[in-house]
Amino acid sequence: MVRPSSSRQRRPPSHRRRVGGGRYVMISKVAERYDIHPQTLRLYEREGLLRPQRSDGNTRLYDEDALHRLESILTLTRDMGVNLAGVEVILTLQERLARLEAERDRLLEIVERDVSDRRRGVRRRHALVWVRSGALVKVEEED
């Protein structure tokens, strides 16, 4: 039997692809590297624990962030005996904590800048130019 030639060119096999400028690892290599079945990775994706990128051909591609997250999942499940529901809660809390820490750092920078400005005599209240408070005075228009 002769197969009709495909109009698509086959790419040489590659385990790392560039999508959007980053480095990605295909699902087969991730499974091999972490000694897990590819179906386990698909399960983690279905459960919302992992969110791999997709190639134009819909292949799952894992970047460094996804691999670090996978390592956390595997540590929690393999080493600590946490079930997937617990993993989801822990990862959600870690993400929330990271966002709160970033917000704290942002607010701390604002406070530090304000304290520094006050020490130098610069006042930043709610205007670009500080105006002394006092009684309002009616200004007559010139004709």
In angstroms, the CA 126 to CA 76 distance is: 48
Give the whole-number percent of the chain exceeding pLDDT 90.
62
pTM: 0.64
SS3 109: helix
Q: Is the pLDDT of residue 123 over 70?
A: no
Residue 13 has pLDDT above 50, yes or no: no
Flag whether pLDDT at 66 surpasses 50.
yes
List the one residue out of 33, 101, 42, 113 whose CA is nearest residue 71: 33
Please give the CATH topology (third level) of the domain spanning 16-114: Multidrug-efflux Transporter Regulator; Chain: A; Domain 2 (1.10.1660)
More confident residue, 118 or 99: 99
- Say what the pLDDT of residue 141 is: 76
Task: Examine the pLDDT at 70 and tell me if it is beyond 50.
Answer: yes
What are 100's two structure tokens? 């709160």
φ, ψ of residue 101 to 5 degrees: the values are -65, -40
Contact 70, 62 (CB under 8 A): yes
Mean pLDDT over the full length of the chain: 82
